[in-house]
Amino acid sequence: MKRISIIACTCLMWAGPAGADVVVDWNIRAAQSISSGARRGPSGLVDFAMVHVAIHDAIQAFEGRFEPYCAAIPNASGSPIAAAAAAAHGVLIALFPAQTAALNASYAASLAKYGLTPLDGGVAIGQQAAACNLGRLDADNAARATPDTFVGGQGPGEWRPAGAAPMTAQFLATMTPYTFADPAQFRAANAPPHLTSGAYAKAYDEVKTLGALNGSTRTQEQTNIGLFFTEVPAAYWTGAMRSLADTHLDNIGDSARMFALVYLAMADSAITCWDSKVAWNFWRPNTAIQLGDTDGNPRTDGDPDWQPLRATPNYPDYTSGANNGTASATTMLANFFGTDDVAFSLTSTFIAAPDNVRSYTRFSDARHDVVEARIYMGIHFRFADTAGLLQGKRIANWVFGHFLRPVGATDD
């Protein structure tokens, strides 16, 4: 297989490499808006998806090589670059109206960078693409306005918040996915291991020994992996996609499709993951180990003073969101490029990570490290990681097989 070498860098607050094309430019601008907008949990992925499917649809109105996400736009004229900028601008203005002045300035600068004006015919095409893809905005905003209320339960095996706040971004569990109708379609089918089982005791002992803040059996390399992957997956793979586009894609239609496909998969993976978290309501390792003497399993020794290496996020364990997101991104990128054999590096800006660059020869190599990292961090059982990985892979393959396909593609 062809081996591709890529250097992928992610920087603090979503900064990234200079944009080589209008798609990368607006990915950087979208990231700034989403970061400033402080979306709860991983819900910013829904915004990324909306921006990038609109860009994709605007460009394909000219190219006609790939299916649009929303609807085909006929009689395109003018510049596809202007269309892409107008599409991104239109979506971001609707998502973040408080940022209108700054977004208008970015839009004017974007057109000027490519020698275009607001009178270019492509602007109307981009506005149509934005309007079509904003059709879900009212439902998304209504979901986001729903207060978080889920607090799990107090019985053995049931998740409960670490503090007073209910589950973060609970609304994601009932949000409408982008590429299928029901958030439960890809819900983890198998329950976590029963508390009294040997499988549970094995996973319990693993995270208890490897994930502890104090007295852990981790090696230095394992600690480095855990600290490296403290950041959210979207940061790593957003940076990676920018580098991929800058280095390997010389057509803005291909660049737009790659971003759109990955964000569609990651957004729907986040929604699916939150559905599974609420449905299975399984406790996190910190609670499980501190209350280990109450789980009915004689093979699990409780430790009321146990603490994880990293702070536990405020939502249930099963399934892992980091592994869901990583698996969806890596699987989609392998699908897009037609190979898993891509050599690349990721950079972490987490201040406590002593090893802030990690190099890989395959997308799946990074996917494997994230499974291990969440155990080394002490915030997930292995079975939550592997179930999340499976979900992310399944969703990415679903999206790739059903959306933004070459024109004329047929269902198998």
Encoded amino acid at 91, one letter: V
Q: SS3 of 123, please? A: helix
Q: SS3 of 65, please? A: coil
Per-residue exposure over 227-253, b if at least 16 CB sit within 10 Å of its own CB, e if not: bbbbbbbbbbbbbbbbbbbbbebeebb
Q: Average model confidence (pLDDT) for the chain?
A: 92
Instruction: Give residue 248's pLDDT.
Output: 84
Please give the average per-residue pLDDT across 147-171, as a whole number.
94
Q: Where are the domains of the chain?
A: 4-149+178-402
Residues 97 and 288 sit within 8 Å (Cβ to Cβ): no
Please give the average per-residue pLDDT across 106-129, as a whole number.
97
Which class would CATH give 4-149+178-402?
Answer: mainly alpha
Instruction: Give residue 11's pLDDT.
Output: 30
Give residue-wise pLDDT tens across range 315-363. Answer: 999 999 999 999 999 999 999 999 999 877 777 877 777 777 888 899 9
CA distance 210 to 181: 39
CA distance 170 to 190: 21
Give residue-wise pLDDT tens across range 256-275. Answer: 999 999 999 999 999 999 99
The secondary structure of residue 313, as a DSSP letter, is P
Instruction: Give residue 412's pLDDT.
Output: 59
Instruction: Give residue 62's pLDDT.
Output: 98
Q: 235 versus 95: which is more confidently predicted? A: 95
Instruction: Give residue 3's pLDDT.
Output: 41
Residues 391 and 326 sit within 8 Å (Cβ to Cβ): no
CA distance 170 to 161: 12
CA distance 94 to 271: 21
Give residue-wise pLDDT tens across range 288-307. Answer: 999 999 999 999 999 999 99
Residues 316 and 387 sit within 8 Å (Cβ to Cβ): no
Instruction: Give Cα 281 to chain centroid, integer Å.
Output: 21
The residues near 231 (Cβ < 8 Å, ≥ 6 apart) are 10, 348, 349, 350
Residues 210 and 222 sit within 8 Å (Cβ to Cβ): yes
Instruction: Give residue 163's pLDDT.
Output: 85
What confidence category does residue 14 fall into, taking pLDDT thresholds of 50, 70 and 90?
A: very low
Quote the tokens at residue 251. Answer: 């057509």
Alpha-carbon dihedral 139, 140, 145, 148, rounded to 10 degrees: 110
Give residue-wise pLDDT tens across range 32-91. Answer: 999 887 777 788 999 999 999 999 999 999 999 999 999 999 999 999 999 999 999 999
The secondary structure of residue 98, as a DSSP letter, is G
What confidence category does residue 4 fall into, taking pLDDT thresholds of 50, 70 and 90?
A: very low
State the residue for tokens 């393959």: 397
Please give the average per-residue pLDDT across 185-197, as a whole number.
96
- pTM given for the model: 0.93
Q: SS3 of 158, please? A: strand
Please give the average per-residue pLDDT across 167-196, as a whole number.
96
Residues 255 and 337 sit within 8 Å (Cβ to Cβ): no
Pairing of β 4-7 and β 342-347: parallel
Q: 250 versus 287: which is more confidently predicted? A: 287
Residue 2 has pLDDT above 80, yes or no: no
Quote the tokens at residue 147. Answer: 């207060």
Quote the tokens at residue 208. Answer: 């208890």
Tally of CB atoms within 10 A around 184: 14
The verdict on whether omega for the bond into residue 319 sits within 30 degrees of 0, i.e. cis, is: yes
Encoded amino acid at 153, one letter: G
Instruction: Give Cα 257 to chain centroid, integer Å.
Output: 16
Instruction: Give Cα 391 to chain centroid, integer Å.
Output: 13
Please give the average per-residue pLDDT across 386-407, as a whole number.
98
CA distance 299 to 245: 51
State the residue for tokens 């395109």: 76
Residue 13 has pLDDT above 60, yes or no: no
The closest alpha carbon to 399, from 241, 240, 225, 259, belongs to: 259
The closest alpha carbon to 48, from 266, 323, 231, belongs to: 266
Least confident of 14-28, 33-47, 174-188: 14-28
Instruction: Give residue 165's pLDDT.
Output: 93
Instruction: Give residue 54's pLDDT.
Output: 98
CA distances from 396 to 43, 186, 218, 315, 332 (A): 18, 11, 32, 23, 5
CA distance 62 to 253: 9
Q: Lay out the sheet containing 342-347: strands in order across.
A: 4-7, 342-347, 357-360
Residues 55 and 23 sit within 8 Å (Cβ to Cβ): yes
